[in-house]
Amino acid sequence: MDPGAEGDPGYSLMPNPSPHCSGGKRLTRIRWTQPRGSTDSSNLIETETMLFLLLPLAVAVCQSPSSNPRSREVGTSPVLEEWLLEGASLFVSPQPSSSGAFQPPRDGAEGVPAFAPPAAREDRPEGEEYANIYPKFTLSAGVLLLENFNSSIQVSGDAGAGVVVDMEDLLDVDSDATVGRIDLHYSFNKRHWVDAAYYDIQRSGSTSATTEDIDFGDVTIPAGSSVDADFGTRIFKLAYRYNFVTDERTVIGASLGVHSLGLNVKLDAAAISVDETFKQELPLPLVGLHGAYALSRKWSLLADVELLQFDLGSYRGFVGDSRVALNHDTFDHWGWGVSINNFRVEADAEGNDGLEANFDYGYEGLMAYLRFYL
């Protein structure tokens, strides 16, 4: 039937060479024509309905060679080609052209559907950012389960260099601990953050008879003595973070901060009235990298690593702190999370009463916590 003649249904399928079909296959194009002399709007409805029904066939023709020498191309639409290749279910409102033939709507035309082709989608705003990696304020409180402590210290005084005391092996100080930890986060904007954390680790141990003499500071505890030992570390952490990547679901940045490490170590041999204490507050500078990724609107993954080799006169050494956390935003302002922590410091420091200490201290831990966020 001649296109456009009386009785022509107003649509046809036709093979046409196209670079979009790989392997020499051909893309079927769909054209619209208004039956000659007809102005009935029902033709428009019929054309729309048939287009919707014929689209699966059009896609199938694109996947296999086809030819139809009786078909003649009257009007084609590159925009429609892109729709067909995307495999979307389309509902197109044809619009009459000056020649009377019906063409699919062009970009920007009134009535372009929400599933418009790529050219029409380019002007759409980007997706909303994942708010769970951009909270304004967060307060986290939880329980930190620590293990694998490595604590050795050498304290020297006026009498000379002390011996290296392995707190866990020699004095049976606890090799694990359960403590509370509080974390704060405040965001000035997406680029500038401030983070803080506080926790206090107190461990103790005792031995009924030391296996060797212990020179600790200005005292000597003879072998065979009963000794009580305390090893405490109080940590306050403050860091400024700058984010140089802040897209809708990813944050990557750098940080500059300080770990204030309060160290308090005491040995007490009460039976012979000998005791010695080393204590010092060590402000340990740190630089680091951090990142956050929104796994979904509820789940997010955070990681940071901070370390520095330092020499600040009265104390020098190395400090490293790393953490990986998984958070869940359960309710509007409440959620929970779990994290893995690793901390290590090796330092020489001057302390109280002219004492000097060389110590190696570290641990690993798992934390579970509740979060309040805005």
Structure letter (DSSP) for residue 125:
P
Average pLDDT over residues 79-92: 44
More confident residue, 295 or 353: 295
How far is residue 320 from each of residues 89, 268, 281, 374, measured CA to CA in Å? Answer: 55, 31, 17, 30
**The tokens of 218 are what?**
């200005």
Q: What percent of the chain has pLDDT over 70?
A: 66
Segment 5-21, tens digit of pLDDT: 444 444 444 444 444 44
Domains for the chain: give ranges and CATH numbers: 11-121 (no CATH), 132-373 (2.40.128.90)
SS3 8: coil
**The tokens of 153 are what?**
């210290």
pLDDT at 122: 38
Measured between alpha carbons, how far is 262 from 264 in angstroms, rounded to an integer?
7
Strand bridging mode 164-166 / 177-187:
unpaired
Measured between alpha carbons, how far is 215 from 301 in angstroms, rounded to an integer?
47
Segment 189-207, tens digit of pLDDT: 999 999 999 999 999 999 9
Average pLDDT over residues 84-110: 46
pLDDT at 126: 53
The mean pLDDT of the chain is 77
Segment 105-128, tens digit of pLDDT: 444 444 444 444 444 333 434 567
pLDDT at 16: 47
Tell me, letter by letter, the H, E, C secondary structure of 209-252. Answer: CCCCCEEEECEEECCCCCEEEEEEEEEEEEEEEEEEEECCCEEE
Q: What are residue 285's DSSP bridge partners?
A: 258
pLDDT at 128: 77
Segment 52-72, tens digit of pLDDT: 445 554 444 444 444 444 444
Segment 147-193, tens digit of pLDDT: 999 999 999 988 778 899 999 999 999 999 999 999 999 999 999 99
SS3 49: helix
Cβ partners under 8 Å of residue 195, min gap 6? 183, 184, 185, 186, 237, 238, 239, 241, 255, 257
pLDDT at 129: 86
Segment 127-153, tens digit of pLDDT: 678 999 999 999 999 999 999 999 999
Count CB neighbours of 224 within 10 A: 11
Average pLDDT over residues 270-290: 91
Residue type at 202 in one-letter notation: Q
- Decide if 363 contacts 146 (C-beta within 8 A): yes
Under the banding of pLDDT at 50, 70 and 90, the label for residue 95 is very low
Residue type at 325 in one-letter notation: A
Segment 345-362, tens digit of pLDDT: 999 998 888 899 999 999
In 107-176 the beta strands, taken as DSSP E runs, fall at 137-156, 164-166
From the list 363, 355, 368, the residue with the least C-alpha distance to 203 is 363
| Cα 18 off chain centre by | 43
